[in-house]
């Protein structure tokens, strides 16, 4: 009789075990049918402190490995500027690298996927053969939100082509001083224009659904998470010094620098990056009132807040002087993910110690991790963590290059065209006896792309695939029209040759961030000499390739035409399209063009506003009056028109004198 009793007991025990195992296999966070908040709550409840702090840690790919991901529960990896798996790496090489890291993350106890980020700030610009679009300063001149939305769509596809689901873009700084080295990353000095350009988020992440809850991230399938940066006031630092102090009252901060964040949040932006700079002496990376109090609480942003590169280190001066304090101040201010990017063990150890000592609360950690998980769940990373070659053919796609060419055309601003309205110089004839092309930027793809192109600082020469301005001119003119290129011709060269006209292409060298801070804003040598030599000898059109307005007034009387081309990217053909009349000039200045750097800072509406060319200025072919975009109210437009007319009249008086 004992044997049956044991058998029934064993059977009952087995049934209980199977029931427990079945329950263990089901986890709500793994079920895509469950609401996102339910999945977050379930997963948070299963996580250890080590797993939570790991999610808050972002490391650079150069120190990452599958084992590091698994052992430290790392939540994110990034490629810094120019950090690539190999020179001229193919999409397959990128995807294999990203997937190798991802497999390490998936091998952890809970299998939480990591998110890989990259600075795709004007196309997937770190990647060889990608389409590089004009920098934001040029896109602002287009006044075309639909265009930037389409650029966002193309960029998302080219980022996905490399297996990456997250870009640190767009920069929505309102640059108030062109001496700032990041001014080309800003769409305009006018927050209204910047607000319009936030439509790029809809291209990167997808159209936000009707009745979507404000502040909640939205990323459609096969799109990429975007990042509005740098919160807040980075474009208003004193004297345009990068990472410096923005001295401003509350009305100015909320009225000038904050509005683009309102729009970005309404459009479902997934992440926000904190600025290196300070507001009235307080480092933004430690600014609880603005990061938690305003961004999270008042604007109801529910994505995650990420630091900048070594951003918390720079809370102290010198940077890293008291790293434990920096971790405490940054996390308690409201930063959810820390771009470490190298010494991740120190960050993890310090954060863990601060939580154990109750200096950082567990509720603050849970808030950070909840926000990170919300973005990952929203993106579908848990269901589709691994990339494949499905989008590989999107990199540098012909249609994307045509879009970039369109963007170049629409970004060009015609500042001068002849010395009188009845003696216009542009468009140029395609048939001529001989054309001279001169200048340091005419045959240099790296120069026309600017910073954040293949390398962090950009480069010179054939850094990637694209069309130089010189090659574009050659392909546009008639077959029987010879085009001669001389980078910096001297007087004897000019006397020996008989040219119909010249196109001089000069500008700034590539730069990024603090390296670009510049109090002189002069054209790269020997650019001024090239203008003087060539334009004194024959009629010329000058094309300026730069990330901001530069000193040009002294040379203006010498030239017949002046075109601001900004930093056009890889598709130089767009410049020739407009110079030779296949398309008209439609771009309007998104920045005030100063007469002298002594006037800076100077923005539209300032009492001392006396520009060479005002905000909104832009000539059209066969028109004596500047054209203006319709992005302002009628009253503003009339006011700008008055300034434009006065400026044009003053310029003509100077020329006649």
* Confidence at 625, pLDDT banded by 50, 70, 90: very low
d(CA 519, CA 597): 7
Whether residue 181 is contained in a domain is answered as yes
pTM above 0.85, yes or no: yes
Residue-wise pLDDT for 572-607, tens only, equals 999 999 999 999 999 999 999 999 999 999 999 999
Active site annotation includes 190: no
Whether residue 649 is contained in a domain is answered as no
H-run or E-run covering 20: helix 2-25
Whether residue 517 is contained in a domain is answered as yes
Residue 422's CATH number: 3.40.50.1700
* Boundary residue ending a domain (364, 379, 394): 379
Whether residue 638 is contained in a domain is answered as no
Res 420: pLDDT: 77
Across the range 271-294, mean pLDDT stands at 98
Whether residue 164 is contained in a domain is answered as yes
Q: Coil, strand or helix: which one is 358?
A: coil
| Strand ranges across the sheet with 57-60 | 166-167, 115-118, 76-79, 57-60, 338-339
Res 9: pLDDT: 53
Whether residue 22 is contained in a domain is answered as no
Whether residue 341 is contained in a domain is answered as yes
Cα of 42 vs its chain's centroid, Å: 35
Active site annotation includes 571: no
Whether residue 531 is contained in a domain is answered as yes
Q: Give the lowest-confidence range in 9-18, 175-184, 265-274, 375-384.
A: 9-18
d(CA 607, CA 504): 35
Residues 203 and 339 in one domain: yes
Residues 350 and 273 in one domain: yes
Residue-wise pLDDT for 439-474, tens only, equals 999 999 999 999 999 999 999 999 999 999 999 999
Residues 363 and 490 in one domain: no
Candidates 456, 460, 511; CA nearest to 60 is 456
* Boundary residue ending a domain (360, 379, 398): 379
Structure tokens at 180: 């700032």
Residues 432 and 506 in one domain: yes
| Better-scored residue on pLDDT, 655 or 308 | 308
The β-bridge partners of 542 are: 504, 562
Q: How many CA within 13 A on the CB side of residue 519?
A: 4
d(CA 527, CA 560): 17
Residue 278's CATH number: 3.20.20.300
Q: Give the lowest-confidence range in 284-288, 421-425, 427-431, 589-593.
A: 421-425
Res 419: pLDDT: 83
Q: Coil, strand or helix: which one is 437?
A: strand
Candidates 51, 54, 28; CA nearest to 41 is 28
Structure tokens at 482: 């010879």
| 17: pLDDT strictly greater than 60 | no
H-run or E-run covering 379: helix 362-379
Among residues 189, 308, 336, 406, which one is catalytic?
Answer: 308
Domain hosting 527: range is 412-599
Count of domains forming the chain: 2
d(CA 326, CA 332): 10
| Average confidence score pLDDT of the chain | 93
Among residues 158, 199, 513, 517, which one is catalytic?
Answer: 513
* Boundary residue ending a domain (562, 580, 599): 599
Residues 93 and 224 in one domain: yes
């Amino acid at each position: 009789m004992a044997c049956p009793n044991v058998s029934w007991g064993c059977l009952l025990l087995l049934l209980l075990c199977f029931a427990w195992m079945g329950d263990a296999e089901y986890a709500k966070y793994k079920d895509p049918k469950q609401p996102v908040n339910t999945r977050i709550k379930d997963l948070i409840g299963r996580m250890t402190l080590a797993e939570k702090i790991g999610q808050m840690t972002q490391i650079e790919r150069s120190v990452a490995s599958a084992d590091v991901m698994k052992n430290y529960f790392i939540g994110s990896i990034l490629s810094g500027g120019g950090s690539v798996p190999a020179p001229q790496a193919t999409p397959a090489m990128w995807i294999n690298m990203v997937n190798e890291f991802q497999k390490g993350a998936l091998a952890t106890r809970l299998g939480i996927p990591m998110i890989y980020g990259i600075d795709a700030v004007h196309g997937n610009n770190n990647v060889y053969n990608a389409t590089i679009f004009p920098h934001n300063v040029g896109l602002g001149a287009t006044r075309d939100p639909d265009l930037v939305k389409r650029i966002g769509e193309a960029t998302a596809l080219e980022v996905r082509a490399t297996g990456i689901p997250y870009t640190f873009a767009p920069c929505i700084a309102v640059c108030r001083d062109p001496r700032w080295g990041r001014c080309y990353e800003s769409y305009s000095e006018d927050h209204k224009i910047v607000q319009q350009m936030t439509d790029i988020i809809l291209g990167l992440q997808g159209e936000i659904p009707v009745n979507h809850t404000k502040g909640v991230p939205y990323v459609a399938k096969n799109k990429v998470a975007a990042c509005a940066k740098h919160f807040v006031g980075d474009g208003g630092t004193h004297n345009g010094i990068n990472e410096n102090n923005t001295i401003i009252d509350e009305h100015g901060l909320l009225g000038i620098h904050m509005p683009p964040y309102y729009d970005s949040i309404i459009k479902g932006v997934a992440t926000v990056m904190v600025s290196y700079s300070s507001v009235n002496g307080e480092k933004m990376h430690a600014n609880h009132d603005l990061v938690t109090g305003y961004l999270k609480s008042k604007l109801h942003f529910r994505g995650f807040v990420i630091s900048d590169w070594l951003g918390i280190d720079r809370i102290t001066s010198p940077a890293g002087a008291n790293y434990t304090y920096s971790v405490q101040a940054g996390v308690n201010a409201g930063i959810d993910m820390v771009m470490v990017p190298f010494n991740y063990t120190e960050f993890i150890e310090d954060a863990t110690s601060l939580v154990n000592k109750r200096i950082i609360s567990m509720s603050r950690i849970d808030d950070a991790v909840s926000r990170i998980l919300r973005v990952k769940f929203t993106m579908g990373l848990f269901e589709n963590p691994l990339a494949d070659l499905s989008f590989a053919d999107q990199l540098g796609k012909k249609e994307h290059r045509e879009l970039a060419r369109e963007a170049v055309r629409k970004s060009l601003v015609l500042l001068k065209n002849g010395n009188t309205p009845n003696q216009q110089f542009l468009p140029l004839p395609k048939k001529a006896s001989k054309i001279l092309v001169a200048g340091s930027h005419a045959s240099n793809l790296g120069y026309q792309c600017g910073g954040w192109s293949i390398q962090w600082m950009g480069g010179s020469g054939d850094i990637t695939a694209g069309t130089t301005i010189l090659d574009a001119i050659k392909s546009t003119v008639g077959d029987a029209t010879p085009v001669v290129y001389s980078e910096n011709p001297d007087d004897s060269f000019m006397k020996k040759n008989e040219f119909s006209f010249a196109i001089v292409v000069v500008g700034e060298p590539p730069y990024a961030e603090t390296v670009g801070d510049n109090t002189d804003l002069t054209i790269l040598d020997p650019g001024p000499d090239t203008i003087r030599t060539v334009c004194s000898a024959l009629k010329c059109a000058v094309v300026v390739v730069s990330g901001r307005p530069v000193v040009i007034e002294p040379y203006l009387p010498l030239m017949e035409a002046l075109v601001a081309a900004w930093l056009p990217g890889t598709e130089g053909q767009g410049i020739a399209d407009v110079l030779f009349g296949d398309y008209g000039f439609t771009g309007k200045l998104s920045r005030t063009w100063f007469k002298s750097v002594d006037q800076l800072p100077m923005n539209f509406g300032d009492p001392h506003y006396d520009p060479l060319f005002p905000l909104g200025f832009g000539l059209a072919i066969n028109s004596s009056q500047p054209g203006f975009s319709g992005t302002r109210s009628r009253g503003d437009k009339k006011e700008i028109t008055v300034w434009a007319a006065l400026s044009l009249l003053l310029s003509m008086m100077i020329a006649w004198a």
